[in-house]
Structures are given as C-alpha cells and as structure tokens.
Amino acid sequence: MHVFIDENGEIRSCYLKAGCQKEGNFRHQLSNCDCVSNAHEIQFSSSSTTTSESQEPSSGDQAASALQQQLLLMVARRTLSESPRQPSQDPEDSSCSSAQRKLNRQFYRFIIFPGKWIKVWYDRLTLLALLDRTEDIKENVFAVLLVVLVSLLGFLTLNQGFCKDIWVLLFCLVMASCQYSLLKSVQPDPASPIHGHNKIITYSRPVYFCILCGLILLLDAGSKDTNPPFYTVYGLKLFSPRSLQSARDHVIVFLYCFPAISLLGLFPQINTFCIYLLEQIDMLLFGGSAAAGFISALYSISRSFVVLIVLYAFCFSAVKEPWDAQHIPALFSAFCGLLVALSYHLSRQSSDPSVLMSLIQCKYVPHFLRQQFEDSAADPLPEKMRESVKEILKSDLIVCTAAAVLSFAVSASTVFLSLRPFLSIVLFALAWTVGFVTHYVLPQLRKHHPWLWISHPILKSKEHQQREVRDAAHLMWFERLYVWLQCFEKYILYPAIILNALTIDAFSISKYKKLGTHCDIILITVAGMKLLRSSFCNPINQFVTLSFTVIFFRFDYRDISENFLLDFFMMSIVFHKASFIAPLWDLLQKLQFIMAYIAPWQIAWGSSFHVFAQLFAIPHILYKFDSAMLFFQTLATSVFSTPLSPFLGSVIFIASYARPIKFWEKNYNTKRSDHSNTRLAIQIEKDAGNDDNNLNSIFYEHLTRSLQESLCGDLILGRWGNYNTGDCFILASDYLNAFVHLIEIGNGLVTFQLRGLEFRGTYCQQREVEAITEGDEDNEGCCCCKPGHLPHLLSCNAAFNLRWLTWEITRTQYILEGYSIIDNNAATMLQVFDLRRILIRYYIKSIIYFTASSPKILDWIKDESIQKILQPYAKWHYIERDLAMFNINIDEDYVPCLQGITRASFCSVYLDWIQFCARKRVEHLDSDEDSPLVTLSFALCILGRRALGTAAHNMAISLDSFLYGLHALFKGDFRIAAKDEWVFADMDLLHKVVAPAIRMSLKLHQDQFTCPDEYEDPAVLYEAIQSFEEKVVICHEGDPAWRSAVLSNREELLTLRHVVDEGADEYKVIMLHKSYLSFKVIKVNKECVRGLWAGQQQELIFLRNRNPERGSIQNNKQVLRNLINSSCDQPLGYPMYVSPLTTSYLGTHSQLRNIWGGPVSLDNIKKWFRSKWLRMRKDCHAAHHERGNVEEVDSGGGSSSSSNSTGNSSQSSSSQPTRDGTPQLQASSQEVHQRTGRRKPRSQSVQAHSALNQRPPASSHSGPIVESRQPFIQTSTSAHEIAQRLSSSQLSFHNSATSVFSQSPAVPVAGQLTVQDQAAAMLRSSLASSTSSTLSLLFGKRSFSSALVISGLSAADGGNTSDTQSSSSMNIAMGPSARAASQTTRQLTETTCEATDATEPRPRREAGPGPAIFMSRNLECRRASQEDMALEDTASQQSLSEEQ
C-alpha cells in the first residue's frame, strides 16, 4: 500500500499491491490515533516511503484491513475538519495533525554498504529535478572516472599559472559546471538531436573540458622545448615555440568561453563529434568518402592507415638513397603500381562494412546467419547487395593487378623524367580541356535552362517531348560521350598527372630532404593516395582545382611553391573542406543561400515574430559593418562545415554545431506495420495502419529499390547533372515527392537516403510543388512591362528570378520503374443494386471456379463426413431462407415466391458454368445436376454469401454495411454461422476457395466496366480468371504478401483500401500497374537544406516551439522551405517514409553494361576472347574463299565452268527433301517488296536472282553451299558465253555468303520454270556474280557486305541503273573486252524481264509453307547485315566512282 499525503493532510494518491508485491505494511493503533508504517529497505532509485517508529511485520490481510480502517478514519477526519467547529471541542486534533506530519516526511534509503544506509529527505519528483537517474553501473563508473579526470586536468592547468585574478574563478566555475553536468545534465541541451532525456549529452561537457585542458598542457610543453624541430611550409614556420604558445593562449580563451559556447549549442554531442572528426580526417588526408556512423568512420580510417603503412614501407626503401634520372629504382616503380592499385580498390569500397561482413559470414560462417536469412528471405535487396559486392571484389582482383603492372611499367620507363617539363604542360592542358567540356559545357547544354538564359535544353533526351513515358530512358549519344570522357579523365589522365608529379618529387626528395626523410615520404604518400582516390571517386571538380593550382603556384606565388604534388594536395583541401582555410564551394553555397533568403523583394512573412525580425534584413544589405559580420560568420561556419540556420525562420542567421555528411544521428530501419507484426484483435477490430501515409509508404520503399538499381549509373550518365558528396535532390511527379540525400560517392557506388513526403500535403507544400512544376517559358516580362523575349530565350524577369533561387531543375523527364496508381471510389461503383448484383455473380462464379480447379476436389467429394453434412443441400426442395442475407436485388438465383434460394434456381443460373469448369479438368469430373460437385458448389456459394451478409451486419441493402462486409471478407475476416461450421472440416475450403473468390470477384467487377459483355462467354471468363490468378496479386494491404509483391516488381496488383481520414470513411479500390514513371529532378543548395534542418532542430527541441503553424514552416518558394522542413526526422518533420542508408552499385545499371560490357571477371574475359576468336575464324575463312574467287575469275571460263559443274553435282546429292518429296524453297525478296510498297520496281529486278541462283544447303569443308539443279542451256550469243564463264564467280560468292550465315534457305526447283525464265535468271545471276567478284577484289573479306550495298544501290534506280553499275563494276575487273559483252547482256536481260516477273509467283504459291520459314530466316540475315552495310555504303560508292 502506497499513500501520498500532502502537507495539509489530504490524501493525494494511494494504491494497494497484493501478495508479495506490497512494499510497505501499515498498521493503525486506535489507542493513540498514531499512524506508523513498516517500510522495507529500498535502494536510492526506488519509490518513496514514509517514516516509521515500528519494525513489527504483519500479515498481508491484517495489514490491508488495518490500513483500510486507517484511511477511512483519515477521510472522516478530513471531512469533519472541513465543518466549522470550536478548537476546544476536539481534543484529538493535535495528536492527529502530528501523525499526519510524520506521514508527510518522505525519504529514500540510500545503501552505502550492506547493512548501512542513509536517509535522503526528498520525494521522487524533487529528487529527479536535482539529480539524473542512472540505472546502469557502467554509467556510474564512467561518470566517476570523468569527475576524477576533470579535477586532475583542471588542477594541472591551474598549477601552470595560466589563470590570474578573476580568471581563476571563471576557470573554476567552468570546471565545476562540467562536474555538475555529470550529476544533473542540461535537458534538453542545445546540441541534443532528440526529444526527451539524452544520456549521451551528459558526458559531452566533461569530455570537451578534458580535451581542451590536455591540448593546453601539450601546447605548453611544446612551447617550452629548447630545441624544437620546426618546419617551414609555404613561408609559415610550423611547430615553433612562438606559434605553439600563441595556439595555447587561444585555446585558453576558448576554454573561458566554454559556458557561452555550450549555451549556443556549438559543441555537438560526443559521438557526433567523433564521427565528424574521423570523417574529416579520412576525407581531407586520405581522400575517403563520407561515413555512415561511428563504426563506419572507424573502419574507413583504419583501412586508410593500413594502406599508408604498406605504401610508406615501399616508398622509404626507394627514396632513402639518391638515384639517377635514367635508372628509376624498381622499388619506386613497385610503389607507384601499388599506389594506383590500392587507391583504386579503396575508391571502389563502401565505408559501411556491414555488407562486406555479411558476405564473409555467408562464405565462411553460414550457420550464424541461418535464422537471419530465414527472416529476410522475402526481401531480395540484401542478397542483391552481396552479389554486387562480390562482383566488385572479383573485378578488383583483375583490374588492380593490371593497373599495378601498367603503372610499374610506365614508371620504370623513365618517361616522366625524360619528358619534363613538356609532358606536364601537355597533361595540364589536356586535363583542363577535357574537364571543361565534360563537367561544364555538357552539363550546361543538358540543363532545363542552360546558363539560366535559354528556355529549353540544347541536348535533349528522347523523352523530353513525350507526355507519357512507356519505355525506359533511351541512351543518347552525348551520354555515351560523357561516360567515355569521364573514364578517360579518371582512369588515364589524372593517374598520369599524379604519377608524373610523384616521380618528379620523389626524384627531388631522394637528393634533398627538405622536411626530413620520414616527413617528406609521408607527405608524398598521403598526397598521392588522396589525389588518386579523389580522382577515381568523383573527378567533377578536379579540373578547377588543378587549374587554380597551376595558376596560383606557377604565376602568382611561384616563390612559396613547394612542389606540384603538395601544391595540388593543399589546393584540393582549400577547395573542399579545410581546417584553417575556408572551403570555397561551401562558402559560395552559403552566400547564395543567405542572399536568396534575405532578398527584400522575396522575404517571406510567416508569423508575427517575423514582422519584428525582418527589419534586421535592412542592416545586412545597407550597412557595411553588419554585412561584414554576417560574412565573417559565414566564413567561420564554412571552415568547420557547420550549418548556418535562420533563427525561427527569420532573416537572423545563427551558427549550429558541426555535423558529418549524414547530418541526422538516427539510423533508420523502418518496418512496415502489417498483419505479421500486429495482434489479431487489432486486425479484426480495426485496420492496422489504415491511414494513407502508412499505406502509401510502400511506394516510396519501392522507389528506393528502383533507385538502388539505377541511381549510380544515372549519375555517371549525367542525368542528374553535376553532383558531389552531401548534395540534395528532390524528385517530383504527379503524386510522389521524394527527397534524396547523397551521402557517400565512391568509384562505382553511391550511398543515399530517400525521404518520402506526403501524397496530399499541406497548403504550403502544394504551393511549393506548384512553383517547381510551373514553367518560365511563358513569362514575357521585363521589369514592369511585357515586351516578350527572343526565340528560345527566357525573358528578363524569368532569367532574373531564376538567379535568386536556391534550387534548379536539372532534368524534366527522369524515368524510373514504378507503379501507376489508379484508385476508384468503391461507393460509386457499388451504389446501384445492378452493380452489386454483378459483383455477387462474379463472387459465385469465382467460388465455383476455385472449387472445380482445386487439386483436392476429389477428396472433398469422396469425404463421407462432408457429404453427410451436405445432404440437405442435395435435395431439390431445399430452400435457403434468410431475409437478412439474401435479396432479390443482388442475388440472381433468388426466388421471390419462396423467399429464398433453392438448388433448382441455383442450377438454372450457374449449372452451365459448373459444367464448363469441370470439363477443363484433365481427369473426368461428374457435373450433372445431381452430382456431388454441384452440391458442394451450392453449399459453398450459400456459405460465401452468408459470410458476406454476416460481415455486413445483416444489412446488405445499406451501401455502407455492404462495403464494410466486403472489406472484412477481403482482408480475411470470415464470421462463420453455426449452420456453416461444416467448412471447418478442411480449412482449405476457406483459404483456397472462398477467400480468393471474393478478391477475384472484385477484379472481375473492375474489368467489366471496360468490356461489359465480354465475360458472358464462359471461355473468356475462365481464361480471364486463370490469367488473373497467375499474373495479378490481389490481397489486402495489411497482408505481408502485398509488400513482397510490390518489392518483387509484380506486373499488376489490386486491393481494397479502407481509409478513415478527418471523419471521412471511404473505401477505395487501388489498382497498381507496373510502368515507367516520369520525375522532375530538382537540385537544392545543400547548405540551404542543412541550415533549415538545423533551425528546425533547435526550434523544436531546445526552444520547444509546439506551434503547428509556426512561421519557420510556412511556404517560401525561393528556398522550398516547407518541403525541406517537412523532410526532417520525426517528430521534427513528418516524412511518410525514411529509407535506411542504401548503396547503389554501378553493375546493376543495365544500360551501362551495354557500354563497357559489365564487370571484369575471369568468366567475362574468357567469353570475350572466345567470341573474338570465333569471329576471327569466320572472317579468315571468308577471306580465304574470297581469294579463291579472284583466282577463278582470272583463270578463264573453262576452269570455272568445270569447277561449277563439279560443285553442282556434289551439292545436288546432299539437298534435303521436304515431306512431299520436293526440295524446300527459299523465300525471295518479294515479301519484303510487299511490305515496302514504294520500292516495288527494285524488288522485281532483284527477286529473279535471289530465287533462281541461291541453292539448297549442302555440307562441304567450307560450310553450306547453295545450288540449284538447272538444265544445260546452249545459246550462241556472246552474252551467254560471258555468263557461263562467270558462273563460278557466282558460286564462290555464295560460298562466301554462306560461310558467314550458318543457315542457308532452299530455292525453288529450276524444273518448275520455263527455259526462257531460266536463261534470264542465269544472265542476271552472272551480272551479280561479276559484281561480287569485283568487290572481292576491291574490298577483301568484307565483299559480301559490299555486294549487298552495291546491289541495293543499283536496284534503287531501276533495272537500267542496275545493269549499268554491274557492267561498270565488271569493266573494272575484266577490261574493255568485257564491256561490249555486258551491253549485249543488258539487252537480253531487258527482253526477258517481263516474262520472269510473270512466271515467278507461280512456283512460290506451289511451294507450300516451306518458303515462309526460310523467308523469315532470310529477312533476319538481311537485318543482321544492315549494320555492316551501312558502314561501307559511302566507301563503296566512292571507290567505284574513282575506279570508273
């Protein structure tokens, strides 16, 4: 029993614990009206008790009854004390008030030693206000150690005599505040990132005090050194006593300001500081990438130090002794090779070791992860990421080896020392040119508004003008150019520049050690590794850094230059994130954010505070002093990478604490709320997570998976413009608005985090989305007038406004795989009874379908227990009467006169469908009117309709009740009546028949709106249900199968959603179709994002502003303030979904695989060499036969004719007959002519040659040879003699052709044509063969492609042109004697052209289906050769014209 009584004697609260749970036993003594209690000993952190004078224990029941009497007496006395009475009439008042005062004295028993304790006279709330509550012994031990360390370091610092007079008191106050913060911390702290009690922030102040005091003592010891080793770098004397003393004094002043700095929140909590410090060291010194957490930062810097130690050992061995310019040591060449290889490998690895550790555990310790894999079996992402890491490791094993060998060879060749300084100048100029074109010109030409003046992109993608995207993004030529320029830049150009500088500097160091051997070697090793890793990871800004390095140290300050490698290293730190010099990129972005935010013509007035605060914008603009102060603040925050945030959303800017690239300390691993992690009672009573935000978050999760596959490749293709570590983008579409934060950028990998915003956002969010989507092309204003604008240019006002924004549209048509969402109001579709009747009809037919198609139907029919229960349903006079369940308005088999449903009425409507479904089974299934199948179907249909009526609360006429019941059955909530409990004999009757039937009926009901009468045909309906069952996922959104289907990229999904939002109770039918979504990509100033996020954190956590309509979240189109602030971590913002840190790898992008063929591995190399070897064999084989063709042409007609006859005799015996005993026919080019109607004359002139002269395939040593069995034709004309002599050239041309194409179609039999037709075909084939032999002589092994090109060009102009070009080509090969013969041949060809065209279709019609097969093959061969033909088209024409 616990009793809390205030100082007035009133009982504030009391409760009684039963049995062993009671903590105190109370006993009332009626003799003296005194109240005593017996309290057990409790520790310091237990509940409060009251004082006691007695230690006698008592039983639980007696104590409870006695205490009840005591409480009743006290309540009665309190009631009596409220009535007016005289003091003399109550002699017991004094004794009772003293007892109440004793009860009011509460204390804690704090145990010091066993059996020894002291009393702490505070109640619980007072004690919590005085001290923090610590429950872990480790926290107490750590706090004690910190207290001792603060006292010790403070004593040592004071003992040195640094503080005098009042500064001693200030120092003691700082030390005491750090010690007291361990007892009672500041909650909330200005630097606390979370709401509520933050345990980590407790230790921040004492740790910082210890760090500063230790730094003071260290600097003081260095300043007192008599012989200090100091160095001069860039004219500055480092580590001199005077510089160390100055640094010590500045740290002491900083320590005096410790309370004010802590109040302003400029010190992050200690874990954030450790991540920030390790990340900055790794990025600035070693060229590392951003860290995902403390373990990630520790892992990154550890591997960098390991690589540094290995490289230092090689470099020290090579540089410790002088070496000649003509003989570079092998160890130094090995050092260069290792430097390039290890830098490349480090740039390819992520800073998060979790995926790598998971891969190692899967390989070597699989039994530890068995349970984890079973839990995540439905999610394909972890396995996909492990496969990507495995591909990277296999590729690095080969690439690093090759890079090391090449670097070793180049370094050992002494090319860098021999060609200096000319090689350096060439490399610098080439790097600047390539960088300027790649990272400035091309991105500007591809922007939505190039240079903020042009109204449209100059280099447009194929999807730019498309209103609806139906396919993936097309790979453009400038994207290929951008990729190859980047590869040349970061894999060839910058490694050459760095190796050149490294070799020259190492050669100088070997002869003269300026800073000492160890220091010089460490500097060049660190500089080389940092520059190489930065170039491999992201070379976008490298050309700017290189240009400034050359200009600054070669022209402006040549005297202070150390060496190029160190100059380049220092300038890269200056440009990005320096410790003592402001990073220029961060400074420029902060200035752009400030100027756009405080511009007077676009200042946003969000609250009453802003009316007063915006007046501070005037001094920032008008007065130089305030502007200088703001600039100094901006400069200081840029040095330490701290955000500069607007105070409460106003134009007053204050600095926040330093943060890593990741910004938010919280790590997300969001789990969706569904039926797998909610209680069954919650699922039945209400929908788990039935709000739109929770249900729609799956689309952002799917968007994250799509970005995981394509983001890295799209960034390399330049589709997001220029990018860098920490950049922020917004993806905006019709209903999806996602915030993408790039955290880590490596060589072939990008780590990002996606934050999904609400579908239906607030008013402010909609205004900013409209600002993004609206265009500036229609703006015609110039100041106050509207003179218009020049074509393809923006107006003056539009160009001016674009320059005062902190965001920019980089792409308007960015294509990603996603789902198009179609939602229909279920109330609208089921408002009319006729529509509900259609739904019930499909419901019953679906039940029948799933019953008849179930593999257990025979077991159900033969089950005697089920058949015994279903005997009433087998009777024809059985009537199912239930007025609350069945209705004439929605049931087609309802009998009004009987007021129910009978078996006869059911069979009259659905018997045909039952029999149709039964006939579709493989095994025979009886389906007549009296069959058990009809009985079971009838019973299940009655059960399904009764379940729907029960779920609708027996009010099926009401639309709301009907929708409620439909949704209950859709999610699987079946309330089975007593008479339907027979279904529990086999639960598959519910799970596999009734449950999928209600879902299938909704899908069929949706489709019937497009084709109302289509499903009246049983065959069409059966095929539709069968197709939907295989392809469409129909389930409730709370079912885990829904999330699994969405993440598995299923083609189509359907669900019924119940949404209760702001009092509106709606049911929606959601249909998802996999398609390609179009997004706008908006790049936002990252300093603007960091500043607004930091401002929200300070305002809501430290200042505790709970106003939902606060001014800092009102819309501001210039900075997108509402969109950015709503993407903060909850509860600061309200994102619908926040993804975990997700890494996108280059190998998962399909289009980039087409450019460079995927990752480098032994298998891929083997396949590549094998394909090249096979192609080389084919080309050599073709070249061998082409040389044979030339020899045959030169040898004369006798030999060629003899060889031709021999070939014909050998080939005719190997022709393959068809089923009818006739040879298969080759498809001529007439079908192509029929498809391309306007090229009819050319096809007619060519088809005789293709039909008559190509022969069926026959095996030989050189592959298939085509032939045709033609009778011997004797003519006395010279043209025929020439044609006969050139027939061997035709044969060898076909040999060459068939050696390239493995299949050769058959040709029609020559006996089916007339002699005149055969003669004309022979003459045309001779002309073509002369052309092929000529091209064989001129163009070598590519004669086949060239012949096709020339024949196509000649046929394009008609028969005369073809003959002319053929004769001209023949003249080239055979001389003037053949020209007259070719003219005679042309005349004979013209006379026989018409007869050939007339007789050619006849054998094609008689050939049957054979020609169609070979015709398609012939078309495939022609299409496959079009690429080669196109390459040699122009060259062939020029060669022929020159020879003529």
Summarised one tens digit per residue, pLDDT across range 1011-1029 is 777 888 999 999 999 999 9
| Stretch 984-996: mean pLDDT | 90
pLDDT at 370 over 80: no
pLDDT at 1090 over 90: yes
| Stretch 95-123: mean pLDDT | 67
Q: Which amino acid belongs to residue 199?
A: K
pLDDT at 1166 over 60: yes
Give the SS3 label for residue 1083. Answer: strand
Q: How confident is the model at residue 1363 (pLDDT cuts 50, 70, 90)?
A: very low
Q: What is the dihedral of CA 1104, 1107, 1110, 1114, to 10 degrees?
A: 120
Higher pLDDT, residue 1304 or 996? 996
| Stretch 547-565: mean pLDDT | 87
Q: How confident is the model at residue 1429 (pLDDT cuts 50, 70, 90)?
A: very low
- CA separation for the pair 556, 854 (Å, rounded): 86
Ramachandran quadrant class, 392 (left: phi over 0; alpha: psi -120 to 50; beta: rest): alpha
| Stretch 548-561: mean pLDDT | 87
Higher pLDDT, residue 1325 or 845? 845
Query: Looking at residue 1379, what is its pLDDT?
Result: 41
Query: Looking at residue 717, what is its pLDDT?
Result: 93
Question: How buried is 1134 (Cβ within 10 angstroms: 0-12 exposed, 13-18 middle, 19+ buried)?
Answer: middle
| Stretch 1038-1053: mean pLDDT | 89
- CA separation for the pair 667, 1138 (Å, rounded): 10
Query: Looking at residue 206, what is its pLDDT?
Result: 93
Q: How confident is the model at residue 547 (pLDDT cuts 50, 70, 90)?
A: very high
- CA separation for the pair 160, 582 (Å, rounded): 34
Query: Looking at residue 1116, what is its pLDDT?
Result: 87
Out of 169-178, 246-255, 519-528, 785-794, which region has the weakest mean confidence (pLDDT)? 785-794
| Stretch 1363-1376: mean pLDDT | 37
Joined together, the tokens standing for residue 1393 give 């052209």
Q: What is the dihedral of CA 1183, 1189, 1190, 1191, to 10 degrees?
A: 110
Which segment, 315-324, 424-433, 553-562, 1374-1383, is predicted with the most confidence on average? 424-433
Q: How confident is the model at residue 341 (pLDDT cuts 50, 70, 90)?
A: very high
Identify whether the C-beta of residue 1353 lies closer than 8 Å to the C-beta of residue 1245.
Answer: no
Q: How confident is the model at residue 105 (pLDDT cuts 50, 70, 90)?
A: low
- CA separation for the pair 1290, 1326 (Å, rounded): 7
pLDDT at 1354 over 50: no
Q: Which residues contact 100 (CB under 8 A, 6 or more apart)?
A: 5, 9, 35, 74
What distance, in Å, lies between the first and last C-alpha atoms of the chain?
Answer: 119
Q: What is the dihedral of CA 1098, 1100, 1103, 1104, to 10 degrees?
A: -160
DSSP state of 1118: T
Structure-token match 């809390």, residue found: 4
Number of alpha helices (DSSP H) and beta strands (DSSP E) in the chain: 58, 23
Joined together, the tokens standing for residue 320 give 């410790």
DSSP state of 782: B
Phi, psi (rounded to 5 degrees) for 441: -70, -55
User: Of 1327, 1218, 1223, 1311, whose CA–CA distance to 1266 is shortest?
Assistant: 1223
**Cα angle vertex 1094, ends 1091, 1098, to 5°?**
140
- CA separation for the pair 1396, 1325 (Å, rounded): 13
Identify whether the C-beta of residue 37 lies closer than 8 Å to the C-beta of residue 52.
Answer: yes
Identify whether the C-beta of residue 709 lies closer than 8 Å to the C-beta of residue 1149.
Answer: yes
- CA separation for the pair 1069, 970 (Å, rounded): 11
pLDDT at 173 over 70: yes
Identify whether the C-beta of residue 499 lies closer than 8 Å to the C-beta of residue 407.
Answer: yes
Q: Which residues contact 123 (CB under 8 A, 6 or more apart)?
A: 48, 106
Q: How confident is the model at residue 686 (pLDDT cuts 50, 70, 90)?
A: low
Query: Looking at residue 628, what is its pLDDT?
Result: 72
| Stretch 1430-1440: mean pLDDT | 41
pLDDT at 397 over 70: yes
Q: Which residues contact 1058 (CB under 8 A, 6 or more apart)?
A: 687, 690, 967, 1065, 1066, 1067
Q: Cα 399 vs. chain centroid, distance in angstroms? A: 26
Q: Which amino acid belongs to residue 1219?
A: R
**For 1111-1239, where are the alpha helices, taking DSSP H only?**
1121-1125, 1150-1156, 1162-1195, 1197-1212, 1230-1235
Q: How large a percentage of the chain has pLDDT more than 90?
A: 30
* Long-range contacts of 1371-1374, Cβ-Cβ distance < 8 Å, separation of 24 or more: 1371/1444, 1372/1334, 1372/1338, 1372/1440, 1372/1443, 1372/1444, 1373/1193, 1373/1330, 1373/1333, 1373/1334, 1373/1337, 1374/1193, 1374/1330
Query: Looking at residue 1029, what is its pLDDT?
Result: 92
Out of 680-684, 886-890, 992-996, which region has the weakest mean confidence (pLDDT)? 680-684
Q: What is the dihedral of CA 977, 982, 983, 987, to 10 degrees?
A: 120
Higher pLDDT, residue 600 or 908? 908
User: Of 45, 187, 1114, whose CA–CA distance to 604 is shortest?
Assistant: 1114
Query: Looking at residue 619, what is its pLDDT?
Result: 59
pLDDT at 824 over 70: yes
- CA separation for the pair 1425, 1048 (Å, rounded): 39
Out of 268-282, 631-645, 975-989, 1411-1425, which region has the weakest mean confidence (pLDDT)? 1411-1425
pLDDT at 500 over 90: yes
pLDDT at 855 over 80: yes
Secondary-structure percent of the chain, ordered helix, strand, coil, rounded to 5: 60, 10, 30
Joined together, the tokens standing for residue 1435 give 């060259």
Query: Looking at residue 631, what is its pLDDT?
Result: 81
Q: What is the pLDDT of residues 410-457, one digit of tens each?
A: 999 889 988 888 999 999 999 999 999 999 999 999 999 999 999 899
Q: What is the pLDDT of residues 191-219, one digit of tens each?
A: 888 887 888 888 999 999 999 999 999 99
Query: Looking at residue 425, what is its pLDDT?
Result: 93
pLDDT at 39 over 70: no
Q: Which amino acid belongs to residue 254?
A: F
Out of 224-233, 414-423, 616-625, 1396-1405, which region has the weakest mean confidence (pLDDT)? 1396-1405
Identify whether the C-beta of residue 1228 lies closer than 8 Å to the C-beta of residue 1185.
Answer: no
pLDDT at 1253 over 70: no
- CA separation for the pair 172, 256 (Å, rounded): 10
Out of 615-629, 694-708, 831-845, 1042-1056, which region has the weakest mean confidence (pLDDT)? 615-629
Query: Looking at residue 485, what is its pLDDT?
Result: 94
| Stretch 839-855: mean pLDDT | 93
Query: Looking at residue 1276, what is its pLDDT?
Result: 36
pLDDT at 187 over 90: no
User: Of 1094, 1079, 1097, 1089, whose CA–CA distance to 1121 is shortest?
Assistant: 1089
Question: How buried is 1157 (Cβ within 10 angstroms: 0-12 exposed, 13-18 middle, 19+ buried)?
Answer: exposed
Phi, psi (rounded to 5 degrees) for 1395: -65, -40
Joined together, the tokens standing for residue 1214 give 């190997």
Q: Which residues contact 411 (CB under 8 A, 6 or more apart)?
A: 328, 332, 333, 336, 337, 499, 503
pLDDT at 1192 over 90: no
Out of 899-908, 944-953, 1213-1222, which region has the weakest mean confidence (pLDDT)? 1213-1222
DSSP state of 1195: H
Query: Looking at residue 1142, what is its pLDDT?
Result: 93
Joined together, the tokens standing for residue 753 give 């985090």
For the residues of 802-818, what is the DSSP string, one character each?
HTT-SEEEEEEEEEEEE
Q: How large a percentage of the chain has pLDDT more than 70?
A: 70
The radius of gyration of the chain's CA atoms, rounded to the nearest angstrom, is 44
Q: What is the pLDDT of residues 589-626, one digit of tens each?
A: 898 898 888 887 877 766 666 666 666 656 555 544 45
**Cα angle vertex 475, ends 744, 460, to 5°?**
95
Q: Which residues of 418-449 are buried (b: 16+ CB within 10 A; e: fewer)?
A: eeeeebbeebbebbeebbeebbeebbbebbbb
**For 1032-1149, where are the alpha helices, taking DSSP H only?**
1040-1047, 1086-1097, 1121-1125
Average pLDDT, whole number, for the chain? Answer: 75
Q: How confident is the model at residue 688 (pLDDT cuts 50, 70, 90)?
A: low
Roughly what angle, to the nearest 10 degrees, separates helices 564-575 and 494-511?
Answer: 130
- CA separation for the pair 560, 567 (Å, rounded): 10
Q: How confident is the model at residue 1158 (pLDDT cuts 50, 70, 90)?
A: confident
Query: Looking at residue 640, what is its pLDDT?
Result: 84
Query: Looking at residue 494, what is its pLDDT?
Result: 94
Structure-token match 């330049």, residue found: 718
pLDDT at 1061 over 90: no
Q: What is the dihedral of CA 380, 382, 386, 387, to 10 degrees?
A: 10
Phi, psi (rounded to 5 degrees) for 1081: -100, 115
Q: How confident is the model at residue 371 (pLDDT cuts 50, 70, 90)?
A: low
- CA separation for the pair 1295, 1343 (Å, rounded): 12
Q: How confident is the model at residue 304 (pLDDT cuts 50, 70, 90)?
A: very high
